Amino acid sequence: MTDNSQHFLSVEDLYVEYETENTVVHAVNGVSFTLEKGHTLGLVGETGAGKTSIAKAILGILPDLQARVSCGRILLEGRDLLKLSEKEMLKIRGDRISMIFQDPMTALNPVMQVGSQIAEAVRLHNPVSRREAKKKAVEMLEMVGIPADRYHEYPHQFSGGMKQRVVIAIALACNPQILLADEPTTALDVTIQAQVLEMIVELKKSYSMSMLMITHDLGVVAEVCDEVAVVYAGEIVEYGSREDLFDHPSHPYTKGLFGALPDVDRDSGRLNPVPGLPPDPTNLPEGCHFYPRCSRRTDRCRESKIEMAEIAPGHLCRCFAEGK
Amino acid sequence: MSAVIEVSHLKKYFDTPRGKLHAVDDVTFQIGSGRTMGVVGESGCGKSTLGRTMIHLLESTGGTIRFCGEDVTNVSAHKLKKLRENMQIIFQDPYSSLNPRMTVMETVQEPLILSGRFSRSQIREETEQLMDLVGIDRRMRTAYPHELDGGRRQRVGIARAIALKPRFVVCDEPVSALDVSIQAQVLNLLQDLQEQRQMTYMFVTHDLSVVRHISDDICVMYLGQLVETSPSSELFERPLHPYTRALLSAIPSIDIHHPRQRIVLKGELTSPVNPAPGCRFAARCPHVCERCREPQTLTEVSPGHYVSCCRCGEING
């Protein structure tokens, strides 16, 4: 493994498990990636693939009682976030790393004015007066395209798109260096999604933030990401630049994702989805987790865990059938 | 081509404390036998209300509904029960539309029992066939909805809807809650069933790539009104209404080498409560003019392609 200390954020061999009454859910199984300053990495995968668990592990907000990071390191400029105390993490969370959640309806406090919710975040991390915090909050509201005179309104008075803008304003209020965006536009209509995505990309540029974009939508990935990691059953199965992934999808699962997608630009015939269902995370198959659904499987795939192999410069794939 | 279902000037208003909410306002179209009509629009545009009003889950406020040529706008309860055998619906959220205390088997056979047309052995046989048809494994048949994943639940919802061989099925966002690979499996299933059983679909969705894939014709709705309708490929190749054009341009494209020319709309949906006469899209339209304040009519611009926009000709050259 290369020296990761000079990367901005690097996640190394991360394992996350959830313990339930009598089983262990293997949500994240040895995930490694790096994120550079100003770059956007897309984590793509289906429900239950472990995408959100990765983001929550980075931010240290996995539910204490059930979840456990059983192995791995998360280095932010060389410092391991997993070794920090809760008090130290509080300083990083919301200040250096922020997160936007999928559902803006549940991310906001329903009995607190939207402006105050932004100001609260500002005051938590900066030694400023109430008045200064309010001024900053007004600025943030206007930046996300909400008129300042709506500062004193409550979340229920806002539409879905506007609520998500408020969530974004809160996330960006302290100029974070890393934004973890967990399906930020999934709950929104397409025309509103287009507005919000455009705004996120603009803001990312002007703040030179790094972003981890978690989504199941390959269209969103194509629009905003520089690099892409495809996640399946808690593992990254393919990693590469946006061009690598979209021009030369290589892992059978990645190909399956593209095959399942109806094409909006031409009349398509029958779809070719991957048959079957994702594996049960309490009982993952031996060797390649994709084995039971794979059309190119051989006996060898079942024998041992398959390592990521470089099939082209910077383009990695976890599959025997590729790259040889 | 004979129309299976035909609505004209259909209206559905809801009473709210602030006035009448025009959920569906003066919508006219028909669906030919064995075809799929896609209805697209953003949340709150009235597309689900339209589907539900058409099959009498909601009572219409005005206009007429004709099923196989017969006026069914006002029918007796007895007649409605017969009618329901031919008009069914598949709901978006298969979890809340299934009874949590009924097994898969019980859910699927219930319509057969209620119809009163089958003997006990026929019901058992028919239920088995239905479950094979939609791909529910045998070991899943005694399971309860909470034990199933979303894709399987939706298969149960589909089996129940098609149990009595309806001629017309409203599919109300049937794949929106599913992951792409499961979504593709369910879309393929719906297409196979349509072919085998000669069903006519109305496919309500906000997902434009799904709608192009599955539909023969498409209606675009905006705040309760039909703004454009046309054969599917024509609509995507040559969208004419300014809203349709903005909507199509907003779809995130997976073609990284040819990004879409995006028309980003300003503002958000206006309220459908006591709307002003005229084009409802006017408030967000980049081409708005004085004439847009007057009521618009749906005009045929080429065979089968109707647009409701007074400036359609000028804008599209």
pLDDT digits (tens, 9 = 90+) for B176-230: 888 888 899 999 999 999 999 999 999 999 889 899 999 999 999 999 999 999 9
Selected for mutation to probe chain A from B148, B176, B180, B248 (highest A CB count within 10 Å) is B180
Looking at the complex, does the CB of residue A274 fall below 8 Å from at least one CB of chain B?
Answer: yes
Q: Answer whether residue A43 is part of any domain.
A: yes
Q: Answer whether residue B210 is part of any domain.
A: yes
| CATH number for the domain harbouring residue A239 | 3.40.50.300
Looking at the complex, does the CB of residue B149 fall below 8 Å from at least one CB of chain A?
Answer: yes
Which residue of B lies nearest to A242 if distances are taken between CA atoms? Answer: B256
Q: Answer whether residue B142 is part of any domain.
A: no
Q: How confident is the model at residue A305 (pLDDT cuts 50, 70, 90)?
A: confident
Provide the domain limits for residue A214: 9-96+176-317
The per-residue pLDDT of chain B, averaged, comes to: 92
Report the residue from A257, A264, A274 with minimal CB separation from B209: A264
Number of domains in chain B: 1
Q: Answer whether residue A29 is part of any domain.
A: yes
Number of domains in chain A: 1
Distance CA A21, CA A280 (A): 16
Least Cα separation, residue B148 to chain A (angstroms): 12
Q: How confident is the model at residue A1 (pLDDT cuts 50, 70, 90)?
A: very low
Sign of the Cα torsion A209, A215, A220, A223 reads positive
Residues of A with Cβ-Cβ distance to B210 under 8 angstroms: 262
Q: Answer whether residue A106 is part of any domain.
A: no
Residues of B with Cβ-Cβ distance to A223 under 8 angstroms: 252-253, 259
Q: Answer whether residue B30 is part of any domain.
A: yes
A194 against B164, higher pLDDT: B164
| CATH number for the domain harbouring residue B169 | 3.40.50.300
Which residue of B lies nearest to A189 if distances are taken between CA atoms? Answer: B42
Least Cα separation, residue A310 to chain B (angstroms): 23
- Helices B150-162, B180-197: axis angle to 10 degrees equals 10
Provide the domain limits for residue B173: 3-86+164-236
In A95-124, the residues whose Cβ lies within 8 Å of chain B are none
pTM for the whole structure: 0.88
Beta bridge partners of A79: A76
ipTM for the whole complex: 0.83
A305 against A312, higher pLDDT: A312
Average pLDDT over residues A75-97: 93
Least Cα separation, residue A277 to chain B (angstroms): 8
Q: Answer whether residue A256 is part of any domain.
A: yes
Residue-level pLDDT at B181: 86
Q: What is the pLDDT of residues B4-45, one digit of tens each?
A: 999 999 999 999 998 999 999 999 999 999 999 999 998 889
Looking at the complex, does the CB of residue B297 fall below 8 Å from at least one CB of chain A?
Answer: no
Amino acid at A197: L
